[in-house]
Amino acid sequence: MKRVLFVLGLVLLGSLPVLVAQRGELSRQVEWLYYGGDPGNMKYSTLTDVGPSNVNRLQKVWEWKHWETPMKEYGTVPGFFEATPLMIDGVLYVTTPYNSVAALDAETGKELWRFDGEAYKLGQVLSGSGYKLRGTSFWRDGNNLRIFLNSRQRLFMLDAKTGKPVASFGTNGEVSLTDGLQRVAEAKHYTQSSPPVIYKDLVIMGSQIPDRVQIADPVGYVQAINARTGKRAWTFSVIPQAAGDPGAETWDGESWRTHGHGNVWAPMALDEARGLIYLPTTTPSSDFYGGNRPGANLFAESLVCLDANTGKIKWYFQAIHHGLWDWDFPAPPNLITITVDGRRIDAVAQVSKQGFTYVFDRETGRPVWPIVERPVPTDTDVPGEKPFPTQPFPTKPPPFIGQGVTLEDANNLTPEIHKMAQEQMKKFRIGPIYTPPSLVGTIQRPSAGGGASWGGAAFDPEIQYLYVRASHSLSVNRVAKNTGSDALVQVDYSNMFARGGGGPSANLPGGMPLLSPPYNVLTAYDMSKGEIAWQSPVGEGSPTIRNHPLLKGVTLPDRLGGPSSRGGAMVTRSGLVFIGGGDKYFYAFDKKTGKEIWRAPIPYEETAVPMTYRTRSGKQFVIMATGESTDNALVAFALGGQ
């Protein structure tokens, strides 16, 4: 017996160096397993290979271009390339605007396989933002790795090695996301723009629906599909569907019966340990007129926490009562852990289009800092409209972008421009945040696009800083009589009023903004204090502004702020915040000071949230998707030179 044990010991010792080598190789690899870096969307990497001392050596090492083109036979055009890939065991999984997916070698960018979801066969997406899909998700079935692709009205389970549908899932690898749902009149009204959330064996998804289409007025659902059976496990509708549903009492006159939207198109966040999922919800129909939906209109424009097992509400917070500004929650919530006044808090932070950051205890929904209901303007000349008399204002942290409009906010790049901007502003209604829409047109700041947009925020758990990029912009919220000739204008349900109808422009001649720069700002919050640590402009700014005749001979700042609000930030332990600038450059900022310390050219404007990983070779890569339609590239950077 001793002899056998001795021989066995030699065998094990002989194999040990091989095992150690394999483990060492694997330990060098650092993956990016989720769209937001982790299920709670911190967008944070522990990697330190690239830091402030050597970031200037980052070079473009490869590009990959997706294959999609306009298709006349279907009337479709691929939209912005907004994907943030996953990196799992040396393979990148990247989605495309037409809701398809490809696998790439993470070291070289070589395409390994592609799967065409054929979403384009339903025709062009009816939403104004067009075709896009920001990411995908994975699930492990024993030793089998599966990729879930939510492609418009269908969910596919794919074999991660081959890209082929897994035949045992649903019908030949796919299930319908619309069958059996109430008030989804047509499959073409349904699409996807954000990745699923995987919890245990549940695949949980929201939806994007055309919020300019009023004829069928579809309802947006969050639903869970069982990964093993392909059966729907639960649904949650933001808009109540029966008189006894939670929130129905906040829709006066049972107006929930005739209004829809209120969907969840932004990415969601998951607290896996607690089994809680957090939903950022949108505006109900119509986005800018609520005369036929009096009341607070729960659970629209809210952060809703559900039991991920059942879809039942645990708690909620409505940020906007009776929304009239299209200030839906566009960004994924951030699940963060902070220390406030010596108390450790597992929190959820939600950045918003209106420029507020709302912070709650993740489990109870109790605000970390008080949120106070304050009176807001309610006078309006829009027939039938009843703006809500109060709105919630966070006492901390402060807004990350300007809110409301006064004449003093007029563009002051030159005295002439300042005077012209003030005269233009006087043509509209102006006032503090939540000033209602009007027939003449109300200048709304932030604009309907935000403020913060779908790129959301990133969080550094070590220094407890939250980073959010925001657009310093305005829009005109004008309500007008609708002729009924265009089903795609923003109309109320009775077809009486519409947003639009012509009128003065919100810009000066030649595209000069009414507001002063910077037009894009990166803000760092110290979340232990609820205070702004620093703010820095992001991006060179539009050539339209820099070359404007009114600015001839005027010395402008190097960074006016890019015109785009697409994408967001990613932060690393080494001390860097990576972000696009809405221009053809990729930037890195010092995460503690906000100083811009690196930028590199990219082939097209950035359109996504960056990510990073390290392969088994020991090389760290930083990845950014750029461009739209046929002008697109996934760009990989890595250290080069000395």
State the amino acid at position 593 in one-letter form: T
The pLDDT value recorded for residue 129 is 80
State the amino acid at position 335 in one-letter form: L
Residues 528 and 359 sit within 8 Å (Cβ to Cβ): no
CATH number of 34-366+380-639: 2.140.10.10
Tokens of 529: 């204090």
The pLDDT value recorded for residue 5 is 36
Distance CA(349)–CA(364), nearest Å, equals 13
The pLDDT value recorded for residue 484 is 60
CB contact set of 576 (below 8 Å; sequence gap of 6+): 50, 51, 52, 55, 588, 589, 590, 591, 597
Residue environment code for 145-165, b if the CB has 16+ CB neighbours within 10 A, otherwise e:
bbbbbbbbbbbbbbbbeebeb
Q: How many CB atoms lie within 10 A of CB 379?
A: 10
Average pLDDT by stretches of 10, the chain with 642 residues: 36 34 64 98 98 98 98 97 98 98 98 97 87 97 97 97 98 96 81 96 93 66 97 96 94 92 95 98 92 96 98 98 96 98 98 98 98 97 96 98 97 97 96 96 94 96 98 91 54 39 70 95 98 97 93 95 90 98 95 98 96 97 97 97 56
- Long-range CB contacts for residues 416-421, cutoff 8 Å, separation at least 24: 416/550, 417/508, 417/512, 417/550, 417/551, 420/508, 421/508, 421/514, 421/515
The pLDDT value recorded for residue 127 is 76
Distance CA(205)–CA(398), nearest Å, equals 32
Residues 116 and 154 sit within 8 Å (Cβ to Cβ): no
Tens digits of residue pLDDT in 416-456? 999 999 999 999 999 999 999 999 999 999 999 999 999 99
Give 435's DSSP letter. P
Residue environment code for 168-197, b if the CB has 16+ CB neighbours within 10 A, otherwise e:
ebbeebbbbbbeebebbeeebbbbbbbbbb
Distance CA(405)–CA(445), nearest Å, equals 7
| Max Cα–Cα distance, the chain, nearest Å | 98
Which residue bears the tokens 């194999």? 15
**Residue 230 Ramachandran class (φ > 0 left, ψ -120 to 50 alpha, else beta):** left
The pLDDT value recorded for residue 216 is 53
Residue environment code for 483-503, b if the CB has 16+ CB neighbours within 10 A, otherwise e:
eeeeeebbbbbeebbbbeeee
Tens digits of residue pLDDT in 279-290? 999 999 888 999
Give the closest residue to 632 by CA, choosing from 82, 101, 36, 60.
Answer: 82
CB contact set of 357 (below 8 Å; sequence gap of 6+): 349, 350, 351, 394, 397, 400, 457, 466, 468, 525
